[in-house]
C-alpha cells in the first residue's frame, strides 16, 4: 500500500479527524500534506480558526509525516505551535516533514497555510516530537 | 460581572468550544478551570483523547486564565504541550494559571487531568504565551 | 552515594558547568537545585544574564532532577524557556522537578530565580524532555 | 552601517558572546549566521557541545536575524531547542531567519550545524519569539 493510502486509512479511523473533515492530500517518504475546509464550527469567538484546531492540523500532519518513515506505532510526546497571523481562510493546508528520524524518537516540522480565493498565506508553524512505541 | 460569568459568556461565543462541550467551572484572578466530557468524536485512532483536543483544552484554559487579569483582547502567540500519559477518561479537567502578567504579553501554565470513576490523573501539561492586542 | 553527591560529581565533570561556576545545592528523588553567581562574563549586551545561560541553568537543573530518578544515561531531546522578567541579580537559583518519569523519556520543569540582597524573584521557567539512552 | 557591521558591534558588546568566541559571519534583511569554534570549555560531561550552548547559539542567531528587520530593541520572550544529534564538531554554525516580522513580536527559526573536516551536519534546531521593546 502506498504511504498516501496508509495515511488515508489511519485518518479514517480517527473519529475527531472525520469530524474535522481532514483529508490527506499528499504523502511521500518523510512528508505529508493534509487539508481541512473552514466552517463556523471550527471557529473561536472572533471567527478565526480556533488555536486548538491549528494545533490539531499541525500535530496531525507531523504525525502522518512520521508514519511514512517509522510506521504507525508512534505517540506525540511534545508539540509546539506558533500563531503567526490570524488564521482566516476558506481552507487550511498543513505541510509537514520529518526533520530527523530515529529509532526511539522522530522530530518533525509543519507549516500551516490559509487559502483564500487563489492565494496561500502562512498562518502558523509548529514542531512535534514523536516517540516510537515498542510493542 | 464576575470572572466566571465573563468566561462563560466568551466560551459560549466560540462555536468550536460549544461543539467540544467545554464548560467553565471555576475562575478567579489569575486562574481558570474548564471541563469537557469524553465522547467518541473527540478520539484519535486508538480511542484516546486526540492530541489536538489536549492542545485545545490547554490553550483554552490558559487563555481564560489570562482574561481574568488582562481582559478579552488577547491572542495566543505560542503554545506548547507535553503529552505525559495516554489521555483516557470519562472527563477532562484543565486547570490554568497566569505565571507572569504583563502589559504586552502574558505567560500561563496549564495542567490537564483525566478523571475516571473517582481518581484524577495528570495526563498532559502545557504553556501558552498570549499577546495583548492593542485596539 | 547520595543523589546530591552523584550530581556534584557529574557537575564537576562538565567543563562548561565549571566555567559557569554552577554549584549543586540540593537534590532529592525527583528534584534538584543549582546556583550560579553573577559576574560580567555571563551577561548579554544590556548587562542582564544572557538568555543562553538562562537556558543553561534550566536545562542543567532539569537534567539533574531527571538523574535522581533515572540515572545518568540521559540526553536532552527538547527544551523550552520562557523569559518572564529581566534576569538581574547577584545570584541565580534554578529549581527543577520531574513531572513524569518514564522508561523511555522523562518530563521535567524548572523555575529560575534571581536573588538580590534578601529577595528572590522568578525570572524564567522552562521544561526539558529527556530521553533515556539505552547502552 | 550594514546589517553585518551592526550585528558585529552588538556581538562585541555582550561579554558572554565574547567568551564563547561567537563571530557574526553573514547577515542580510531577515537572516543572520554566526559561528563558534569547539574547545573543551564548551563541553558537557561526555565531550559534546553543552545543551546550554546549543541554546545560546540558536537564541543569539535568532535575535540577530530579528535585529536586521526590527532594530536592536528586542527581548527574547520564549525559545525552544530540539537536540537532533550529538553536537560534536570542530566548529558550529547557526543560521537563523525571520519567519514572521511584526510590530510587537517577531517569530524566528534557526538551524545549527556541526562542522567537521569538510562536512556539515544538522545537529539541532530551534525557534525564538522576540518582543519589540517600546522605549
CA distance B106 to B25: 22
Question: Could you tell me if C85 lies within 8 Å of chain D, comparing CB atoms?
Answer: no
Asked whether the whole model's pTM tops 0.95, one would answer yes
Beta bridge partner(s), residue D31: D28, D97
The residue among A128, A79, A130 whose CA lies nearest residue A106 is A130
The kind and range of the H/E element at D107 are strand D105-116
Question: Could you tell me if B69 lies within 8 Å of chain C, comparing CB atoms?
Answer: no
- Asked if B1 contacts B7 with a C-beta cutoff of 8 angstroms, the reply is no
Residue C105: the pLDDT is 96
CA distance B131 to B103: 9
Q: Which chain A residues contact residue C128 at CB under 8 A?
A: none
Dihedral Cα D15, D16, D18, D20, nearest 10 deg: 170
Residue A135: the pLDDT is 65
| B positions 104-123 inside 8 Å of D (CB) | 104-105
What average pLDDT is seen over chain A?
95
Residue C21: the pLDDT is 97
Residue D45: the pLDDT is 78
Q: Kindly report the CA angle at D53 between C34 and C31, in degrees rounded to 5?
A: 25
User: Please, which pLDDT band fits residue A6 given cuts at 50, 70 and 90?
Assistant: very high
- Asked if D11 contacts D24 with a C-beta cutoff of 8 angstroms, the reply is yes
pLDDT tens-place string over residues D110-132: 999 999 987 999 999 999 999 99
CA distance D124 to D116: 15
Average pLDDT over residues D12-35: 96
- Give me the domains of chain D, ranges plus CATH numbers: 3-132 (3.10.129.10)
Dihedral Cα A57, A59, A60, A64, nearest 10 deg: 130
pLDDT tens-place string over residues A92-130: 999 999 999 999 999 999 999 999 987 999 999 999 999
Handedness of CA A116, A119, A124, A130 (dihedral sign): positive
Residue C106: the pLDDT is 98
Q: Examine the pLDDT at B5 and tell me if it is beyond 90.
A: yes
CA distance B106 to B129: 6
Average pLDDT over residues B87-99: 97
What average pLDDT is seen over chain D?
95
| Least confident interval from A32-46, B93-107, D72-86 | A32-46
Pair type for strands B74-83 and A74-83:
antiparallel
Q: What percent of the residues of chain B are helix, what percent strand, and what percent coil, each to the nearest 5?
A: 30, 45, 25
State how far Cα B108 lies from the chain centre: 11
Residue C113: the pLDDT is 98
Q: Examine the pLDDT at C135 and tell me if it is beyond 70.
A: no
Q: Which chain A residues contact residue D127 at CB under 8 A?
A: 80, 82, 127
Q: Examine the pLDDT at B118 and tell me if it is beyond 80.
A: no
The three cell numbers locating residue A135: 510493542
Residue D125: the pLDDT is 98
Q: Which chain B residues contact residue D80 at CB under 8 A?
A: 80
Beta bridge partner(s), residue A121: A114
DSSP D33-59: EEEEE--GGGB-TTSSBPHHHHHHHHH
CA distance A108 to A85: 21
Burial of C120 (0-12, 13-18, 19+ CB in 10 A): middle
The three cell numbers locating residue A18: 472525520
The residue among D53, D67, D70 whose CA lies nearest residue D24 is D67
Q: Examine the pLDDT at B79 and tell me if it is beyond 80.
A: yes
Residue D47: the pLDDT is 82
Residue A107: the pLDDT is 98
% of chain B exceeding 90 in pLDDT = 93
pLDDT tens-place string over residues B36-52: 999 999 988 778 999 99
Residue D135: the pLDDT is 64
Find the closest chain A residue to D85 by CA distance. Answer: A100
% of chain C exceeding 90 in pLDDT = 93
The residue among B94, B100, B98, B97 whose CA lies nearest residue B123 is B94
Question: Could you tell me if B79 lies within 8 Å of chain C, comparing CB atoms?
Answer: no
CB contact under 8 A, C50 and D56: yes
Q: Examine the pLDDT at A1 and tell me if it is beyond 70.
A: yes
Residue B135: the pLDDT is 65
Q: Chains contacting B with at least 3 CB pairs below 8 Å?
A: A, C, D
- Asked if B79 contacts B129 with a C-beta cutoff of 8 angstroms, the reply is yes
The residue among D3, D12, D2 whose CA lies nearest residue D30 is D3
Q: Which chain B residues contact residue C109 at CB under 8 A?
A: 125
φ/ψ of A104, rounded to 5, equals -105, -30
| Model-level ipTM above the cut of 0.90 | yes
Q: Examine the pLDDT at C80 and tell me if it is beyond 80.
A: yes
What average pLDDT is seen over chain B?
95
Dihedral Cα A64, A65, A68, A71, nearest 10 deg: -50
Average pLDDT over residues C70-97: 96
Instruction: Determine the angle formed by the axes of helices D51-70 and C51-70, rounding to 10 degrees.
Output: 150
Q: How many CA atoms lie within 13 A of D2 on its CB side?
A: 10
Question: Could you tell me if B40 lies within 8 Å of chain A, comparing CB atoms?
Answer: yes
Give the closest-approach CA distance of B83 to chain A in angstroms.
5
Q: Examine the pLDDT at D44 and tell me if it is beyond 90.
A: no
The residue among D123, D11, D122 whose CA lies nearest residue D60 is D11
- Asked if B67 contacts B59 with a C-beta cutoff of 8 angstroms, the reply is no
Find the closest chain A residue to D81 by CA distance. Answer: A127
How many Cβ atoms sit within 10 Å of the Cβ of residue C104? Answer: 15
DSSP C39-92: -GGGB-TTSSBPHHHHHHHHHHHHHHHHHHHH-S-EEEEEEEEEE-S----SEE
Pair type for strands D74-83 and D119-132:
antiparallel
The residue among D135, D83, D81, D78 whose CA lies nearest residue D106 is D78
Identify the residue with better confidence: C43 or D23: D23
φ/ψ of A59, rounded to 5, equals -65, -40
CA distance B118 to B39: 18
- Asked if D127 contacts D79 with a C-beta cutoff of 8 angstroms, the reply is yes
Three-state SS for A8?
helix
What is the edge-to-edge ordering of all strands in the sheet holding B91-100?
A23-28, A31-37, A91-100, A105-116, A119-132, A74-83, B74-83, B119-132, B105-116, B91-100, B31-37, B23-28
Average pLDDT over residues D41-60: 93
Q: How many CA atoms lie within 13 A of C83 on its CB side?
A: 24
Amino acid at each position: 500500500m502506498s504511504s498516501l493510502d496508509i495515511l488515508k486509512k489511519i485518518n479514517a479511523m480517527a473519529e475527531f479527524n472525520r469530524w474535522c473533515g481532514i483529508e490527506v492530500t499528499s504523502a511521500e517518504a518523510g512528508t505529508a500534506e493534509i487539508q481541512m475546509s473552514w466552517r463556523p464550527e471550527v471557529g473561536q469567538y472572533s471567527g478565526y480558526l480556533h488555536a486548538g484546531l491549528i494545533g490539531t492540523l499541525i500535530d496531525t500532519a507531523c504525525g502522518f509525516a512520521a508514519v511514512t518513515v517509522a510506521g504507525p506505532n508512534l505517540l506525540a510526546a511534545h508539540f509546539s505551535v506558533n500563531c503567526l497571523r490570524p488564521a482566516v481562510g476558506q481552507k487550511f493546508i498543513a505541510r509537514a516533514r520529518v526533520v530527523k528520524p530515529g529509532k526511539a524518537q522522530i522530530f518533525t516540522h509543519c507549516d500551516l497555510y490559509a487559502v483564500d480565493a487563489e492565494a496561500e498565506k502562512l498562518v502558523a508553524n509548529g514542531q512535534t516530537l514523536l516517540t516510537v512505541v515498542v510493542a
